[in-house]
Structure formats: C-alpha cells, structure tokens
Amino acid sequence: MKKQLRISFILLLFSFILFSQENSNFSLGFESNSQYYVDDSKTGDFTLSEPFRANNYLKIDYTFGDFYSGLQVESYAPLALLNYSPKLKNTTIALYHIGYKSEKLDITAGYFYEQFGSGLILRFWEDRQLGVNNALRGGRLKYNPTNYIYLTALYGKQRVGFKVSNGEIFGFNSDIDLSSAFNLGNTALLFGFSYVGRKEKSTITLPAFNDLTNAFSTRLDYSKNNFYSSLEYVLKENDAVFIANKIRSVKSGNSFLLNLGYGKKGIGIDVTFRRMENMSFFSNRAATGNIYNESIINYLPALTKQHDYLLTNIYVYQAQPQIAFQDPTLVKFGEIGGQIDLFYKFKRKTTLGGKYGTKIAINTSYWSGLKGNFDFSNFDYSADFLAFGEKYFSETSLEVRKKWSTKWNSIFYYVNQSYNKRYVEETFGKVNSNIIVAEATYKLGGGKSLRIETQHLWTKNDKKNWIGGTLEINLNQKIAFYVNDIYNYENESISERIHYYNIGGSYTKGASRFALNYGRQRGGLLCVGGVCRYVPESTGISANIIMSF
Amino acid sequence: MKQLLLTITIFSFISVFSQKQLPNIMLKTLDGKSVKIQDKTSKNKITVLSFWATWCAPCINELDEISDVYEDWTEETNVDFIAISIDDSRTQKRINPLINGKGWEFNILIDKNQELKRALNISIIPHIIILKNNKILYRHTGYSPGFEEQLYEKIKQYSK
C-alpha cells in the first residue's frame, strides 16, 4: 500500500512535469558525503563492516502555477557514515509532499518542516550533518485572512528513520502583527500563540498520565527605533518522565525566554535570558535522551556563541532541559542562564580604527542548573523560579577583526571557558581553559590567496594543552587546498598524544562543489546549531559532492 | 547508485527546459514581520541574494569585504543587495547587533527555518544568487578571498 502510494506520487509528479511547461519551475539538489575508513594505529583500527560508507541525498522540487511538489531520495549504502542512526539504511524515497499555495492559503500534504515561534515549543527541520530529520508526515493548512494575521494548523506523525513515530502531533499557531493592525508607525508589536499536542497511547497505569500531552506558547515581540525585545513563555502539561529508559514520575515543564537589544550603526548589544524546566518533548516518549536526535518535537539549543575554530569546539556546552537522577550528587531538572553580545566598530581614521576600521565582538554567557529540592528515591523535585544552582558552563570571548590593507586581513580571537564536564556530559571533572587563535589572510591577486591560522588551548584539567594550525591556499576562485592539525601535546597518556591532521582540496563551479579530504577525526561531539551528534575517532578518506540545478 | 545516476540524468535533462524562478517564500524582517521574498526583490533591475549566518566565518569575511565597497556598487550599478540570514533561533538574536556593530547597510531578511535555503537546494553557505525579475541568472557557492571582485564583474555584466 505504502509502495503503491509512493509510485503513484512519482507518476503524478512526472505527469505534471510533462504537461505543464508554462509557469513551471524545476529545481534539483544533490548531496553526497562518503568516506572510506582505514586502519590507523593511533585512532584505532576500523573493525566494523563496510569500510566504505556513503550518505546520499537527491532532492527534487517542482512547482506549476499555484501547485508545488517535491521529494527527497536518501541512500545510505552500503551503510550510513559512522554514528548515524542504524535506522537509516538502504535507498528509499524518504520524503515527499504536494501542495497548493495562493495569496492567502497554503495547503500541504506529505512530509513538511515547520517552526512555531523560536522553536521552543515546536520545530521540524533537517540537518544532514547531524542526521537530524524530524519532518512531520501529515497535513498542514496555512491561512492569512489579512496581511497581519498568520494562522497554521497541522497534524501528523513524525519521521523516525524511514518510518514514523507512534505518537501523533497536533499543532496550531497564530502570529498577529498588532502594529500593522493598528497602524503603529515605526513601532513593531507582534503577538504569537501556539498549541502543540502529542498523543501517544501507553499501557502503563502507574504512575497515571494522559496519552495526550498539551503544550502552549505565548510570545510578544516589541521594537521601536533602535530598541527591540521579545518574550516567550512555554508551558508543557503533566507528562510521564523517562529516566534511564523507564517512566519514573509525572511532571509538567515550562520555559521562559527574554531577549533585549539595541543596535545602531557602529554598535549593537544583545542580552538573552532563558530558564527551562523539564522541557524535553519527544513524539515517542521512550525516545527521551536518544543519542541520534530522533523524535524531537521542540528545539532547545544551547544559547552560547557558536565558534568557528577547532580548539574552541572541544568543550562545547549543550542545553540541559532534561531531568536526570544519575546519583544523589548528580540531579538535574533544567537550566537557567543567559548571554550578552556586544558588537562594535572603531571608525576609520581613528587611533584604534586605522585606515579601514576595526571590528570587535564580545560574548559572555553563564549557565547553571535550577536550584531546588529533590527526593532522590522518588525521582521528585521542586525547582525555585529565579535561583541559580550548580554552575554548568561559562564563557567569555573577544574577537578582533582588522583589515590592514587591501591585501591583508587578520582576526584575533580569545576565549575563556569553564566547563562542568560532570554535569554536562554526566562523567567526571571540571575544565577551565583559555584559547587564543590568530588568523591572517593575504590576497595575492587574481583570486589567489593564502590563509594561516594558529591556535592554542591552555588547561590544567582533562587532557591538558592543545596546539593547532591551518594553512589554506586558494589557487583561484575554483580550486582550494588546505591542511590542518590539532595536537594534544600535553596529554598525560603518551598514546593519546595524537596529531589529528587533515589535508584536502575542493573544486567549486557555480552552485556545485566537490571536495576530497584525508585525515583523522577527533572523537567527540560534532555540534551544529546547538544540537550535537557524537562522532567516534576515525581515520579515512572522504568525498563530498554538492550540486544544485 | 546506478538508479541515482539515472535519476540525476533524467532530471537534469528535464531541467534544461524549465526556467529558474525564485520560489516565493515567506521570510522575516529584522523586527519580526513576515514578508514574501518576491515582494522584496526589485523589478527590472539586478538583485543579489547572499545567504549567510552569524556563525559562518567565510560569510562574514565576504560581507565585510562587500560592505567596504557597497557604496560604489550601488552608485555605479544601482544593484539591490539582500543578505538572507539562515541563522536558526540559537543565533538569530545575534543578527541585529552584528549587522549594526559591523555597520553593514544591506537589506537583511531572515530565513528562520531555512525554507528558502531548502527550496533553492543550498547545501552550504555562503551562497550567492543573482536575479533579474525573479529569474535566477547566476549562482555561486563558497567564498575565497577576492571573490567579491569577480561578483562585481558579474553584476556589471548583467546590469547592462
């Protein structure tokens, strides 16, 4: 039945392509990430089956007049890259959709992505790097009765591997632009309300909880002249709490997010505060805490700076929205904290600005657990509203970008981190580190350029000091080569003092890119946008192909 | 794999016959209002879309360089330049202070759940698209220092 559905869908798509030439648009995207894993005495031999592995994605979109359709073929053959969900195997049409869109109405059937507000209550998205694809399979209706009211209703089951969740999701969202409704001039005032219900049948009667879990979000955004602010509150009603794969208690959850900022030419400041208590929300309750990021309904990223450099990405904070009763000295039920950003430009022709101006960016963040009382034997707790518990993470960074001439550019970057490994990773220890990165780019003309980057990480904890560097050469606008290395030279275990080197090149033409790389992958967390995937240590040759037409 | 290659061939063949149109997708302005991308692109003149994010170093390098010569570009070619951020809610709040702190004067739009990025099959950023009357004339992925000069040549070429 399912197969027939897919085949008829493809036939339908083809017939649309053949019969509609006018007003039609066709778009195609292909991405292939493959790796041949090799034995390496330093990072460990490759002992699993299939040393050659590849993840391939072919996405086809077709629109004709007010109708649109699309599908995505995914192929994980012979097997998916290391540490992608084992549910991803073989080749299949993983996603498909068809829809109608007019000025006021947008109807979709099939798989679709969506986000309500900031995603704190609901976000369906794709991140191929992380193996995240939690698209909803079902139906969605978007309706804008006026140009200031936006309504969305949806229903479906969430994609999990190549199947869908047991749990059903019901959603409703409204965004109302009050400033346009009441002609408030240069003031922007927006109100948002969302509802998300997740219904999953359970045979468990003790503790008692409803199959349907309701969650609500209310939002208000205000901005005027150079000032802006936003406020969001999410409430998740009582739901079963999974701890170590078992339902242990029934608790409600909530989240509070406040953001304030000010920006005018030359300066920008932003302050964010967030408190989350028991905010994990999965379409399958039993998926709570799964390492493959499957069945996630809401998006709870770490609100810290996302770094660009290898050594700044060793001790990466991850948001702690979940309940954990590991042992009486390691109990978690949420997080509280915030961050401040400052961007500033020293003007041209001033002492600090020089000929081209100097741009600085400062970020500081602090996150800790919620303070409260707990009863370890009954997996119960009560959290204070505005009190800071055990510190999980803090960080301060300074970035200085300076253009010296039309040929020379440089970046200086300093980061100070305090990472509570015991609480964030639920292992042992605390890490205090300082990192300095210096980078320079030299343009040789005719598209040729050279980029050099050096980095050092100082810490007396964990694996001690690291050193690293990168050299990148662009021969022209199409061909580039790079080599980089990070080395944990002070590791107490001599056998773990490994050069994680990589060497590679790429060829780019228009929207297509081909890249080849050989080297060692450091084991640990690979994080994109605040969501992380664990990657094991490995050595190999990898190829990446990206094409869009 | 064979099937995959066959599919690509078939679809590439078909794609030759259809024109590349910018999909009309809803984006957000900096103050959170909803706008359709086609209402923001100009008619009968060149519009450049630059997909970027606050956490993407090559994107920032590229936009910093373009920002330095932006006045000349708009004076000489009357080009419209829209920097579309694909930051998700982790880093979205950093967009406003960043563009102000850097003194960028581009139009900024936010593709909050990467809908437009996905519709255009953009896998990696930075990604540049040159448009006229919402028809895609040119695309480029990635940034290497000095690319802005080549981009400007393209803009001048299409502006004629």
The CATH number of residue B44's host domain is: 3.40.30.10
The helix (H) or strand (E) run that includes residue A408 is strand A408-419
Q: Residue B62: inside a domain, yes or no?
A: yes
**CB neighbours of B143 closer than 8 A, spacing ≥ 6?**
B58, B59, B61, B62, B126
What pLDDT, on the 0 to 100 scale, is given for residue A18? 56
What pLDDT, on the 0 to 100 scale, is given for residue A243? 86
Residue B17 in this model has a pLDDT that exceeds 60: no
Query: B77 to chain A nearest CA, in Å?
Result: 22
Residue of A nearest to B115 (CA): A113
> Which band of pLDDT confidence, cut at 50, 70 and 90, is reported for residue B20?
confident
Q: Do B15 and A549 touch (CB under 8 A)?
A: yes
Classified as helix, coil or strand, A21 is coil
What pLDDT, on the 0 to 100 scale, is given for residue B146? 87
Strands of chain B, DSSP E: 26-28, 34-36, 46-52, 80-85, 107-110, 127-132, 135-141
Query: A10 to chain B nearest CA, in Å?
Result: 12
Residues in chain B with CB shorter than 8 Å from the CB of A113 are 113, 115, 118
Q: Residue B8: inside a domain, yes or no?
A: no
Query: A546 to chain B nearest CA, in Å?
Result: 7
Q: Residue B58: inside a domain, yes or no?
A: yes
pLDDT digits (tens, 9 = 90+) for B87-124: 998 999 999 999 999 999 999 999 999 999 999 999 88
Overall domain count for chain B: 1
Provide the residue type at B151 as one letter: L
A124 in Cβ contact with A113 (< 8 Å): yes
Its sign, for the CA torsion A328, A334, A335, A336, is: negative
Provide the residue type at A521 as one letter: Q
pTM for this predicted structure: 0.92
In this complex, which of B102, B119, B142 lies closest to A345 when CB atoms are compared? B102
What pLDDT, on the 0 to 100 scale, is given for residue B9? 62
Q: Do B103 and A118 touch (CB under 8 A)?
A: no
A390 in Cβ contact with A383 (< 8 Å): no
Q: Do A228 and B98 touch (CB under 8 A)?
A: no
Query: A203 to chain B nearest CA, in Å?
Result: 36
Give me A354's structure tokens: 């020089």
How far CA A41 is from CA of A37, A38, A369, A432, A498, in Å, comes to: 13, 10, 40, 31, 10
In this complex, which of A30, A77, A267 lies closest to B100 when CB atoms are compared? A267
The helix (H) or strand (E) run that includes residue A546 is strand A538-548
Q: Residue B71: inside a domain, yes or no?
A: yes
What pLDDT, on the 0 to 100 scale, is given for residue A486? 96
Residues in chain A with CB shorter than 8 Å from the CB of B142 are 506, 508, 513
| B30: containing domain | 25-159
Q: Residue B114: inside a domain, yes or no?
A: yes
| Residue showing tokens 């039945």 | A1
Q: Helices then strands (H, E): number in chain A?
A: 3, 32
The helix (H) or strand (E) run that includes residue A366 is strand A358-375
Dmax over Cα atoms in chain B, in whole Å? 51
Backbone phi, psi, residue A14, to 5°: -60, -45
Q: Residue B16: inside a domain, yes or no?
A: no
Residues in chain A with CB shorter than 8 Å from the CB of B20 are 25, 27
DSSP conformation class of B23? -
Residue B7 in this model has a pLDDT that exceeds 70: no
Number of residues that this document lists for chain A: 549
Q: Do A59 and B121 touch (CB under 8 A)?
A: yes
Query: A334 to chain B nearest CA, in Å?
Result: 17
Q: Residue B17: inside a domain, yes or no?
A: no
Burial A180-190 (b: 16+ CB within 10 A, else e): beeeeeeebbb
In this complex, which of B18, B99, B140 lies closest to A510 when CB atoms are compared? B140
CA distance A265 to B61: 18
Q: Residue B5: inside a domain, yes or no?
A: no
Its sign, for the CA torsion A275, A277, A281, A286, is: positive
Q: Do A120 and B89 touch (CB under 8 A)?
A: yes
What pLDDT, on the 0 to 100 scale, is given for residue A24? 81
**Mean pLDDT of the region B67-87:** 93
Q: Do A91 and B4 touch (CB under 8 A)?
A: yes
Q: Do B150 and A268 touch (CB under 8 A)?
A: no
Average pLDDT, chain B: 87
| Residue showing tokens 């991140």 | A127
Per residue of chain A (549 residues), give pLDDT as tens. Answer: 456 556 666 666 665 555 555 678 888 899 999 999 999 988 888 989 999 999 999 999 988 889 999 999 999 989 999 989 999 999 999 999 999 999 899 999 999 999 999 999 999 999 998 899 999 999 999 999 998 999 999 999 999 999 999 999 999 999 999 999 999 888 999 999 999 999 999 888 888 999 999 999 999 999 999 999 999 999 999 999 988 888 989 999 999 999 999 999 999 999 999 999 999 999 999 998 888 999 999 999 999 999 989 999 999 999 999 999 988 999 999 999 999 999 999 998 888 888 888 999 999 999 999 999 999 988 999 999 999 999 999 999 999 999 999 899 999 999 999 999 999 988 899 999 999 999 999 999 888 999 999 999 999 999 999 999 999 999 998 999 999 999 999 999 999 999 999 999 999 998 899 999 999 999 887 776 667 778 888 999 999 999 987
